Amino acid sequence: MRDLFVAELRRFRICGLAAVLAQFVVLGFLARMVDLAQQPLLVYRVFGAVYAVAGLLLGLYQMGSYRRPNAWLNLLHRPLPAWRIALALCGAGIVWLALAVALPLVIIAALQHGMTARVVDLRHWLLPLAAWQLAAAGYLAGGYAMLANRRWSACGLVFLVWLLLADASGGAALAVQGLALVWLALLVGIAFKPDLAAPPRRAVATLATAVPVQMGAYLLLLLLGFGIEMLWIAQGSHPNNTATPPVGGHNEVERMAPAARLLAALSASRDAQAPLWREQIALSKVYALGVDVPWRLERNALTNHRPMGFEDAQRRVEWIFSHDRMRYEGHDLGTGKRHGELGVGSDDGAFPAPAMAAGTLPGLAEGDAVLIAGNTLYHYLSETAQVWPRLRLPTAELLLATTPVGEALVVQSDHALYLVDNGALAANEALVQPRLRLAIPGRQGDLRNIDLIELVDGYLVSFLFSNQSHELTGVAPYQSTWWWRDDGHATEVAHRALRFDYPAVYRYKAWWPSPALYALRVGAIGLFAAPDPLVATTPPPVPRSMWLLAGLLMLLSALGAGWLLRRAALSWPARAAWVIACGAIGLPALVSLYLLYREPT
């Protein structure tokens, strides 16, 4: 086994060393141009995709070179168990991926930590491990694609899709990658046998193989639905690309300008002041509230949605947030030298949550900035290079945005809107208390637009909840309009239910092919991930028609399984298990049964 392992290492020595050198040169060049640790999420995903594809190609080539009948017989006719041969071959590939992928990343991180003032946290030291695990997952998926029967060998790619979509972050993301690696290694071990075309026979091997095959079939059904949707768009009747959207639906309201959305919302109002408000909308400025922090900021997340820093143009200093220190670390933009540490208050205390710059506000001096961390709004003063908390919301809420509205500031959290007087903010550096609070009448994940105008007495605020209404996870779309008075009271003056623009069979296209696999998909994507209040929705119950459709497909799948198993070389308990599985899971299970045990032609 040791000799085979060493021989395989030597076999790839030239390509492996070339990959190490190429990766180091590319990373070194990029590190001279930008701060690699402070790139947006897209950059991390591109690098991760490159590593996964590199591992995939290595697995395809290595196992493909042994899969030829003569080479395969020669490989297995060694005085070693098959699993030890597989371990030697895969071990060599994994080692070369560690050297080519992880080692240059570790070296670059060490150089950046020791020779620059850039921030290198523990989470950045974990990136080489994450990159190696992605490459190893691609490698095992490629190896399985070569070793397994051609009918289902591509199912290893399901695990790469899983890693792309997984919500876990930080150490939890590494755990999800590790779980995918273990499963892929098990699949390679199952496929590494003399008769490569034979289906698995033991219960554990069958289950380990059938689940990704079924998930692969499920994903192909979703892709087929996507293709049908492209034809729908080409036909010109898709709600998103029609010249005139369906009347009364959520697409119509989503396409409207803010003033038109407010007028549409008031069409359902029976309030005596509604005619006056319609006139004021035509004369007033309509404020469309946006979101400065659209993502949940988690401490020690491996990646950033966007760079975690801001520049002080007056002092010529860039401040980068450190998850280890929970403070900002500064470096001079001219010399690149370290410029100290920035925390909260005069003693530079730690921020209670990861902080993100959120632009500026009217009246702030040049170089000042607004920072958001958890439930607190902070003011960075360039003159003194200090940060002071200015507004603190309830602990259970996340501060998302600030929008100047006339002489006031509207602060948005995931639960409510708050009104703060600009004069109170400009008076001193003490904490200010919101003057008004308006609870958001829905979940943050459903919220698409907030439109607002000033009135003589308060504000008119319209909420549109349709963000996910084209999917099964979204709420039944509606507009809710409130009169937010200066005395703090708020009254709903209009509630307008909107129609779904998409038929139920489209909205539930991820559910009715297999409710069980949909639940598995949701659970796998959310595995080890903390609940995210920013994507929380309130979906309506599944319509009865969709239950009937799913039930009919499951029944047909069970009947189809019974027909396919007539002459299968399986025991009666195995046949019964397959019929039950097809009845419970649906079409994807029937497809997996057909692929695994189809009679050769």
Per-residue pLDDT of 505-519, as tens digits, reads 999 999 999 999 999
CB neighbours of residue 282 within 10 Å: 9
pLDDT for 599: 67
Above 70 in pLDDT, residue 44?
A: yes
Q: What's the pLDDT at 97? A: 96
More confident residue, 567 or 514: 514
Contacts (Cβ under 8 Å, ≥6 apart) of 34:
none
Strand arrangement of the beta sheet that strand 355-357 belongs to: 355-357, 369-373, 376-381, 386-392
Average pLDDT over residues 418-429: 78
The least confident of 203-217, 283-297, 321-335, 485-499 is 283-297
Least reliable range by pLDDT among 18-27, 144-153, 364-373: 364-373
User: Is 159 in contact with 212 (CB distance < 8 Å)?
Assistant: yes
The confidence score (pLDDT) of residue 209 equals 95
495: confidence class by pLDDT, cuts 50, 70, 90: very high
- Predicted local confidence at residue 166, as pLDDT: 95
Percent of the chain scored above 90 by pLDDT?
72
Q: What is the DSSP string of 446-477?
A: TEEEEEEEEETTEEEEEEEE-TTTTSTTSPPP
Overall average pLDDT of the 269-279 stretch: 90
Predicted pLDDT of residue 229: 86
C-alpha 302/C-alpha 298 separation (Å) is: 9
Question: Is a pLDDT exceeding 70 seen at residue 2?
Answer: yes
Least reliable range by pLDDT among 168-177, 230-239, 452-461: 230-239
Rg (CA), the chain: 29
CA distances (Å), origin 288, targets 336, 439, 449? 40, 17, 7
Q: Is the pLDDT of residue 423 over 70?
A: yes
Which residue has better confidence, 356 or 425? 356
Q: Where are the beta strands (DSSP E) in 393-512?
A: 399-405, 408-413, 416-421, 436-439, 447-455, 458-465, 478-484, 490-497
**d(C-alpha 125, C-alpha 127), whole Å:** 6
pLDDT of residue 185: 96
Cite the beta strand spans of 152-233 per DSSP E: none
Amino acid identity of 424? Answer: A
Q: Is the dihedral of CA 542, 545, 551, 557 positive or negative?
A: negative
Per the document, the length of the chain is: 601
For residue 31, pLDDT over 70 is answered with yes
How confident is the model at residue 426, as a pLDDT? 66
DSSP letter at 349 equals B
Residues 6+ apart with CB under 8 A from 387: 328, 342, 343, 344, 345, 371, 378, 379, 380, 381
Percent of the chain with pLDDT over 70: 99
Q: What is the mean pLDDT of the chain?
A: 92
For residue 568, the model assigns a pLDDT of 81
Note the pLDDT of residue 415. 95
Which amino acid does the sequence have at 172?
A
For 235-269, the pLDDT digits (tens) are: 877 888 888 888 899 999 999 999 999 999 999 88
Q: What is the pLDDT of residue 601?
A: 46
Q: Comparing 463 with 115, which gets the higher pLDDT?
A: 463
Is the pLDDT at 424 greater than 80? The verdict is no
Q: Give the range among 11-20, 224-233, 344-353, 520-529 with minimum mean pLDDT.
A: 224-233
Q: Identify which of 217, 152, 158 has the alpha carbon closest to the alpha carbon of residue 525.
A: 158
pLDDT digits (tens, 9 = 90+) for 281-328: 988 899 999 888 888 889 999 998 888 899 988 889 999 999 999 999
Average pLDDT of span 57-81: 85
Which residues are CB-neighbours of 215 under 8 A, at least 6 positions away? 155, 158, 517, 520, 521, 588
